[in-house]
A and B are shown apart, each in its own frame.
Chain A
Amino acid sequence: DAKTTQPTSMDCAEGRAANLPCNHSTISGNEYVYWYRQIHSQGPQYIIHGLKNNETNEMASLIITEDRKSSTLILPHATLRDTAVYYCIVNSGGSNYKLTFGKGTLLTVNP
């Protein structure tokens, strides 16, 4: 699976949009971009995934650049409960179910 690079930490004001970048310059054509988050002392939670088109669900939006070398997870209206470590993972899916977690980005939402 391709390697991802994320900032170590970010801050965001409550109510504002949080934009979390991820670099995956070595991504291959059949690899998806997945985002998970982990609130302190809990198990990770799936957020969203995409291949090349932008995706949106009730939690977030995922913007993938045209060359697919980077992506941005957008939390449109961050709340204090969104404070967590956010992991960007590249995986080909299919029979390769393994998720390789990097260090992620610690997002702190401030009141």
Chain B
Amino acid sequence: GAVVSQHPSWVICKSGTSVKIECRSLDFQATTMFWYRQFPKQSLMLMATSNEGSKATYEQGVEKDKFLINHASLTLSTLTVTSAHPEDSSFYICSAIPSGRSLVYNEQFFGPGTRLTVL
């Protein structure tokens, strides 16, 4: 149980185009999902917290107009990279916390990641 999927697993796009990445919790509902990005040989950096039915909360330095997050259902969050540029090339990873999970139990379930390459 507790599987999180991401689609696509990899994408190559031209500079200036927009790319949408989906994150789905397959066998549980998730009120809260997170989006991270990871540059080569670096650690994961939290970009934003996505809450179902409300606006996402972005970390300092992350442009909310460039990285659009929509969490329209309890099993799906999407990240859209608008007007992508080569410097946006990275590994994007989402995670989810099952709804109703005990608040002291902070196990997050991560998706397999999406590798974005912007030419």
- Residues of chain A at the chain B interface (Cβ within 8 Å): 32, 34, 38, 41-46, 49, 87, 91, 93-95, 97-104
The answer, among B6, B46, B93, for a CB contact under 8 Å with A98, is B46
Residues of A within 8 A of B93 (CB): 43-44
Interface size on B, residues (CB 8 A): 26
Q: How many A-B residue pairs have CB under 8 A?
A: 61
Contact A93 B49 (CB under 8 A): no
| Known contacts A41-B91, A42-B113, A43-B112; is-contact A102 B106 (Cβ 8 Å) | no
Contact B49 A98 (CB under 8 A): yes
| Known contacts A97-B32, A97-B49; is-contact A103 B106 (Cβ 8 Å) | no
Closest to B44 in A: A101
Contact A46 B43 (CB under 8 A): no
Contact A45 B108 (CB under 8 A): no
Contact B110 A45 (CB under 8 A): yes
Closest to A103 in B: B43
Contact B46 A99 (CB under 8 A): yes
The answer, among B6, B97, B110, for a CB contact under 8 Å with A44, is B110
Within 8 A of A (CB), among B59-113: 91, 93, 95, 97, 103-113
B75 nearest CB across to chain A (Å) = 17
| Known contacts A43-B110, A43-B113; is-contact A94 B43 (Cβ 8 Å) | no
| Known contacts A43-B95, A97-B32, A97-B34; is-contact A102 B111 (Cβ 8 Å) | no
Contact B43 A102 (CB under 8 A): yes
A34 nearest CB across to chain B (Å) = 6
Residues of B within 8 A of A32 (CB): 104, 106
